[in-house]
C-alpha cells in the first residue's frame, strides 16, 4: 500500500508498505479521507510535541474515515462493507483509568500518529472493531473524518458542563474553536461568544455556532463583562486564558483545550473566590455516537469546515495549508471511492 511518511523533521516521502493484517478483534479499513490536525503540523515542523519525539519514520494523520474491507477472527463478517469513522485511540482496557471509564487517560494508550504509532496517511489501517463507528450514507467521507475533532469539541462541552440557555466564551476561531462552538450550541447554549485576532476567522465563525465574534483587545471591556457560564480556551495563548478565566461568573467553569505554554500564571484568588472549576481536555470518551446523532439531526456542519482537499501524494501541501489565514480545515483524500456518500 501507499503510505505518506514523515522520514525526518520537515521531510515527507510516499513509500510502499505492506498492508496491515487485522488482529482477532480488529477490522481492516480502506482509508477514504483524513483530516489534517495541528498536531500533525507540529510533528512535521518540529519533530516533537512535548515528550513525544519522532525518532523513526512516522505516518501522520488521525482524523480518519473509510470502509471496512476485512475483519479479524472475532469480528462478524457482516461488518465488511461498512462505512466507518475510526476513533484513533487504543487504550489498554485493563488499567485503573480504563476500568473507571476514563479511557482517554490510559497510561498505556496507543494513538494514531503519536510516536511510535503510525497514523492514517496511507491506504489501509487497522482498528479495534468497537473503535470503528458506522456512519450513515448521508455523511460524506470528509465529514466522517472530522468526527474526530468534533469529538474534542463535544468533550470540551461536556467538561464545561454547558446547559441550555448558557453563555459560553470561546477563545480561538480556528478549527477546534469552531468545533467547540458547534458543540456547545448543540447542547443548547444561547450565546456563544468567540474571540480571535484574525478578521477573516471572526467573520467566518458565526457560520459555525458563534452568535458573536469579538476582538481580544479592541473588545476587551465587553469580554471582561460577559459573566460567562463557561469559558473554553482553544488558543493556548496565555493572555486569552487569563482574560477568559476573569470573564467567568461565580460558580462557572474554565476548560483548557489549546496547547500553549507548559506553565502560566493563574489568578488563584479569583478562581477560589468565585469557585470556578478549572480543568483541561485530553482527547475524549464515547463521543462518536453522539457526533453521528447530532449530524443526523442537522445540528452540526462538518463539510462546511473543509477549505482544501489534497491527494495522498500532496500530504506536505496539506500540512502547510494552515499558513493561509483563510484556511479552516484541510483534508487528505486517500481513496475517494472508499466511502462516497449516497
What is the maximal distance between C-alpha atoms in the chain?
Answer: 61
The pLDDT of residue 316 is 96
- Residue 69 covered by a domain: yes
Question: Could you tell me how far CA 152 lies from the centroid of its own chain?
Answer: 5
161: domain CATH number? 3.40.50.720
Q: From CA 279, how far away is CA 224, in angstroms rounded?
A: 20
The pLDDT of residue 337 is 65
Kindly state the DSSP code that residue 122 receives in the 8-state scheme.
B
Strand, helix or coil at 324?
Answer: coil
Residue 28, beta-bridge partner list:
70, 126
The pLDDT of residue 259 is 86
Residues 110 and 177 in one domain: no
Residues 317 and 234 in one domain: no
Residues 314 and 268 in one domain: no
Residue 89, beta-bridge partner list:
111
Residues 175 and 95 in one domain: no
Instruction: Provide the domain limits for residue 16.
Output: 2-146+302-333
Residues 271 and 205 in one domain: yes
The pLDDT of residue 338 is 53
Strand, helix or coil at 69?
Answer: strand
DSSP H or E segment with residue 180: helix 175-186
Residues 131 and 188 in one domain: no
Q: Which three cell numbers stand for residue 104?
A: 482517554
223-227 long-range Cβ contacts below 8 angstroms, 24+ apart:
223/169, 223/193, 223/195, 223/247, 226/167, 226/169, 226/193, 227/167
- Residue 340 covered by a domain: no
- Residue 27 covered by a domain: yes
- For residues 63 and 332, the answer to whether their CB atoms sit within 8 Å is no
Q: Which three cell numbers stand for residue 135?
A: 456512519
Residues 136 and 174 in one domain: no
Residues 17 and 137 in one domain: yes
Residues 198 and 122 in one domain: no
- Residue 117 covered by a domain: yes
pLDDT tens-place values along the chain, 342 residues long: 999 999 999 999 999 999 999 999 999 999 999 999 999 999 999 999 988 999 999 999 999 999 999 999 999 999 999 999 999 999 999 999 999 999 999 999 999 999 999 999 999 999 999 999 999 999 999 999 999 999 999 999 999 999 999 999 999 999 999 999 999 999 999 999 999 999 999 999 999 999 999 999 999 999 999 999 999 999 999 999 999 999 999 999 999 999 888 899 999 999 999 999 999 999 999 999 999 999 999 999 999 999 999 999 999 999 999 878 778 999 999 998 655 543
- Count of domains for the chain: 2
* Residue appearing with cell numbers 476485512: 70
Residues 6 and 133 in one domain: yes
Q: From CA 341, how far away is CA 303, in angstroms rounded?
A: 12
Q: Which of 280, 310, 325 is the last residue of a domain?
A: 280
C-alpha Rg value of the chain to the nearest Å:
20
Q: From CA 25, how far away is CA 72, in angstroms rounded?
A: 6
- Residue 338 covered by a domain: no
Residues 249 and 318 in one domain: no
Residues 57 and 104 in one domain: yes
The pLDDT of residue 127 is 98
- Residue 102 covered by a domain: yes
The pLDDT of residue 28 is 98
Amino acid at each position: 500500500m501507499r503510505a505518506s511518511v514523515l522520514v525526518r523533521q520537515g521531510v515527507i516521502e510516499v513509500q510502499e508498505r505492506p498492508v496491515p493484517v487485522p488482529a482477532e478483534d480488529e477490522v481492516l479499513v480502506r482509508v477514504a479521507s483524513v483530516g489534517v490536525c495541528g498536531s500533525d503540523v507540529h510533528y512535521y515542523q518540529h519533530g516533537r510535541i512535548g515528550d513525544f519525539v519522532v525518532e523513526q519514520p512516522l505516518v501522520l494523520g488521525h482524523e480518519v474515515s473509510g470502509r471496512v474491507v476485512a475483519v479479524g477472527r472475532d469480528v462478524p463478517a457482516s461488518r465488511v462493507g461498512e462505512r466507518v469513522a475510526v476513533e484513533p485511540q487504543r487504550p489498554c482496557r485493563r488499567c485503573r483509568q480504563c476500568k473507571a471509564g476514563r479511557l482517554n487517560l490510559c497510561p498505556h494508550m496507543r494513538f494514531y500518529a503519536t510516536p511510535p504509532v503510525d497514523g492514517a496517511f496511507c491506504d489501509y489501517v487497522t482498528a479495534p472493531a468497537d473503535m470503528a463507528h458506522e456512519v450513515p450514507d448521508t455523511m460524506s467521507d470528509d465529514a466522517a473524518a472530522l468526527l474526530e475533532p468534533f469529538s474534542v469539541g463535544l468533550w470540551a462541552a461536556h467538561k464545561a458542563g454547558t446547559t441550555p440557555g448558557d453563555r459560553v466564551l470561546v477563545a480561538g476561531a480556528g478549527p477546534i474553536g469552531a468545533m467547540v462552538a458547534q458543540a456547545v450550541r448543540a447542547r443548547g447554549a444561547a450565546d456563544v461568544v468567540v474571540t480571535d485576532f484574525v478578521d477573516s476567522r471572526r467573520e467566518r465563525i458565526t457560520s459555525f455556532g458563534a452568535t458573536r465574534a469579538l476582538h481580544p483587545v479592541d473588545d476587551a471591556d465587553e469580554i471582561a463583562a460577559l459573566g460567562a457560564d463557561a469559558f473554553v480556551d482553544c488558543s493556548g495563548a496565555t493572555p486569552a486564558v487569563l482574560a477568559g478565566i476573569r470573564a467567568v461568573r461565580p460558580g462557572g467553569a474554565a476548560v483548557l483545550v489549546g496547547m500553549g505554554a507548559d506553565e502560566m500564571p493563574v489568578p488563584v484568588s479569583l478562581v477560589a473566590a468565585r469557585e470556578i472549576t478549572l480543568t483541561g481536555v485530553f482527547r475524549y470518551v464515547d463521543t462518536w455516537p453522539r457526533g453521528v446523532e447530532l449530524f443526523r439531526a442537522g445540528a452540526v456542519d462538518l463539510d462546511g469546515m473543509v477549505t482544501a482537499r489534497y491527494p495522498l501524494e500532496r500530504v506536505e501541501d496539506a500540512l502547510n495549508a494552515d499558513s493561509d489565514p483563510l484556511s479552516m480545515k484541510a483534508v487528505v483524500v486517500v481513496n475517494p471511492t472508499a466511502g462516497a456518500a449516497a
